[in-house]
Amino acid sequence: YAGKCGGCAYRHLTYPEELWAKRQRVQDALTRIGGLELTVEEILGAKNPEHYRNKSQYPVGADGSIGFFQARTHKVVPIRRCLIQTEAADRTAQAVGEWMRRYKISAYDETTGKGLVRHVCVRVNRKGESLCCVVVNGNKVPREPELAAYVTAAVPHTVGVLLNSNTRRGNVVLGDKYRTLFGRNYLMDTLCGLEFKLSMPSFYQVNRDQAEVLYGKALEFAGLTGNETVLDLYCGIGTITLCLAKAAKRVIGAEIVPPAIRDAKENALRNHIENAEFFCGDAADIAAKLESDGLRPDVVTVDPPRKGLAPEVIASVAAMGPEKVVYVSCDPATLGRDVKIFREFGYEAKRAAAVDMFPGTAHVETV
């Protein structure tokens, strides 16, 4: 499917060649956009570059086909087996398709706003258990018990089947309302020796093994001794925050998504971590508030979405005067731009390493 789907833009390369290209991409961004004379030390490749994704989102085409969007279009390429998704996720998507055909359940048409099924989302944990969420244009669908039966028959390790209501036009996948059709509405997983609860909207790195490599590198760069106060912006469900907590005196996590912060607080309790606290809100607002409250963290870690950091976040971080900033980035271009702005506040980039979280695709993470 690589040529048709367009998601795996590096599928034509050998893996060593892919790693070379990604490291070079990070180097170019830091040199050309960031204006740095800094060498990217290494790129840490994946031991297993296939079937690594623990979260899958399959759009459903107006004709009922389930797969992935063709590059730069909203045309769905029907896919049965994808080399980067898990087998359980692919089987779940196929089961939803069979249920739709059997009971003549309509697919959503984004041009007209009519029809029901929009997306099939699947999370899979380390033990192979999965959580299925079907996104629909409405609050219910016909034959809901049969939907749950089709999914659990195809994938017996399914711990829950959810219905998500999204009636808005546009390309946002998940709506705000969930209903559980079968089982429970969350998945448990382990990462870096810690246990995490994942609800469907929670942000969680999609490649578990490489996330451990990424967080290990971030901890190495932070160089914690056990006496530091650390501020972690864009903390999600607290994965990096709780890893930092094991090596710091106090950690503070901040995130704008309320369910993620609820999960983060639960995850701290579950792992008996008492030196972590979490705030819900926009990173710029929280950074400004903590700065005005006189917080002076020793280390600030940031893991923003692809658009990078807003200039006011960088200004607030710099105003706190941390000794170190550890920036985890999923977009080399915005990283280069932000590193350049940090330099205006007197922060100089000292080390950089790349981590291949998404083999086969054009994406790369940097610390």
Domain map (residue ranges) of the chain: 2-48+207-366, 55-185
Q: Are 125 and 191 in contact (CB under 8 A)?
A: no
> How many residues are present in the chain?
367
What is the spatial distance between Cα 2 and Cα 5, in angstroms, rounded to a whole number? 5
Q: Which positions are annotated as active-site residues? A: 330
Per-residue pLDDT of the chain (367 residues; tens, 9 = 90+): 888 887 899 999 999 999 999 999 999 999 999 999 999 999 999 999 999 999 999 999 999 999 999 988 889 999 999 999 999 999 999 999 999 999 999 999 999 999 999 999 999 999 999 999 999 999 999 999 999 999 999 999 999 999 999 999 988 999 999 999 999 999 999 999 999 988 888 888 899 999 999 999 999 999 999 999 999 999 989 999 999 999 999 999 999 888 889 989 999 999 999 999 999 998 888 888 888 888 889 999 999 999 999 999 999 999 999 999 999 999 999 999 999 999 999 999 999 999 999 999 999 999 9
Question: Residue 290: what pLDDT?
Answer: 85
Element (H, E) at 220: helix 208-222
DSSP E strands in the chain: the ranges are 43-44, 55-59, 67-69, 76-78, 117-124, 130-136, 158-165, 177-183, 186-191, 194-199, 229-233, 250-255, 276-280, 299-302, 324-327, 354-355, 365-366
Dihedral (Cα; 147, 152, 154, 155), 10-degree rounding: 140
2-48+207-366 and 55-185 in the same fold: no
The residues facing 58 across adjacent strands are 120
Fold classification of 2-48+207-366 (topology level) = Rossmann fold (3.40.50)
Which DSSP state fits 317? H
**Quick check: 29 and 336 in contact, CB under 8 A?**
yes
CATH 2.60.40.10 fits domain 55-185: no
Q: Considering the entire predicted model, what is its pTM?
A: 0.92
What are residue 325's phi and psi, to 5 degrees? -120, 125
